[in-house]
Each structure stands twice: as C-alpha cells, then as structure tokens.
Structure 1
Amino acid sequence: MRETVAWRYFNRDVLPFGAMIVVECTAVGSNTLYKAASLRGLSFYVFVFYMFAVSTLVLLPLSLIFGRSRNLPSAKSPVFFNIFLLALFGENRFMATIAGCKGIEYTSPTLSSAISTLTPAFTFTLAVIFRTVSLPS
C-alpha cells in the first residue's frame, strides 16, 4: 500500500516538475547554442532546420514506442483533415522559432530565456481578457 502511495505522489507531483526543469534547461541550452553558432556565421534558417530534424529524430521513435492507440483511423476519416488544418493554422511553432532566433541575434540568450518563462502569464492574461477563464471572486 505504501509503495502505491509513493508512486502516485511521484507521478502527480515530482514527474511534472522534473519534466518542466528538463524542458527549460533544453530551451536555455538551445538558445545559448544558437547564439554561439550565429556569432560564427550560422544562418538561423539552418539552425531551425537542424533543431526540427533533431527533435523529429528524438520524438518519432518515442511516439512509436509509447503509442497508446492500437487502432488507427481510416484514411477517409476527417482526422487527417483536422491534422492538416492544425498544422496550417495552429500553433505555428516554426515561425515562432524563427522569430525567436532572429531576436536572439539582436539580444542575448538570457533575455530570451527570461521572456520564455513569461509565456504562461501571457496565456493566462489573454484567457482572462477573452473570458475563457474567470477569476475567483
């Protein structure tokens, strides 16, 4: 019984916190690596391509190993159209990465890392403005 409670505590509290630390360290490392590479003449388009290629090589095998669904939708399913629309109009990570790399060229990776931690605050502020979240009274 005690082992189950400890495992539940680890999954609920420790694992998300550890994942957040890993993501932030990766972002800071990527920003610092980009600044060093751009000072030596690397184009930000090339760096963004390398960054997306490495992330694809890391995440694709993980999605195949830890995939949850064994039933794939049919090819006529509207899921593929929804995936296409999300890729076209959704959170455009490619353009955000290019804009971020261009910003790092003019400033420092420290400023970029500090501003990236403010993203949840901006998201919450926009959610309050558009009334998708209500403030407790």
Structure 2
Amino acid sequence: MPNRIVNALAAVFETKRTRRPWREELHPRDSKGRFIEAGGVARIWGGGFARVVRALSQTKVQVSDLDGGNQRPIQTSRLTMVTRPDGSAPTKSKDKVQAEEERRDADPRRGNGVDADDNGDPDSRRSARPG
C-alpha cells in the first residue's frame, strides 16, 4: 500500500495504544511483598542502601550503590524497598506499577537500553564512563 494511502487512512482513523499484558515474572517483589521497581531505593539486609538497576529474574535484581559505583546481583528476599522511582512509598498495587511503566514508556527521552544513550541528559542518574 503506498504511503499516500496509509497517511490518508491515518488522518481519518484514530488508533489507541493497548496495554501490554501483565507478566508477573517481570515484576519481582521484596521481602514484604511490595514491588521492586528499577530506579527505586532499597535497604539491603546486613546494612546499607542501594538503587535498583534492573530485574534479572523473579528472584534476583541488579543493584548499585547510591553513588553509582559497585553493581551486584542480589536475591529479592534480601532487600526491602524504601522508595519508588518517583520518590513515593513502596506499593503492592499492580495498577500503580503499570501506570509508572506507561509513563516511562511514553517519555520521549527514554533510550533503547544502550549504556551511553543518555549522555548529556541532566536528569540521568548515571554518568557516562570514559573510554
């Protein structure tokens, strides 16, 4: 179908984005059953705080020291969430987590997951590593 026809159809019809299906394995929970969200701050059993980088599996997440240095995997049962990425209290609500995911997906500054894709972004929590 030529682009001219597709563009004409797009002008006539409105499309709506559907929600992605919920996948429980992508949403690990902490020792109290609350969601662990990337970007949130967690208290590590044995002392200390760390920022959650990403989920590795249902039972493990990658965490980073608050200064952005040392990264390591940790069992989800060994941490307790302190704050969500937006600074609010941790939640057990699936709807709140889905709303946060949709907000992040709609953000035009969101990268494609490449390490250095947000160099120069003043909101970036990670600085680019030289080399």
TM score, norm. by length of structure 1: 0.26
Name whichever structure is richer in helix by fraction: 1
TM score, norm. by length of structure 2: 0.27
Higher relative contact order (CA 8 A, sep 6+): 1
Name whichever structure is richer in strand by fraction: 2
- Highest Rg: 1 or 2? 1
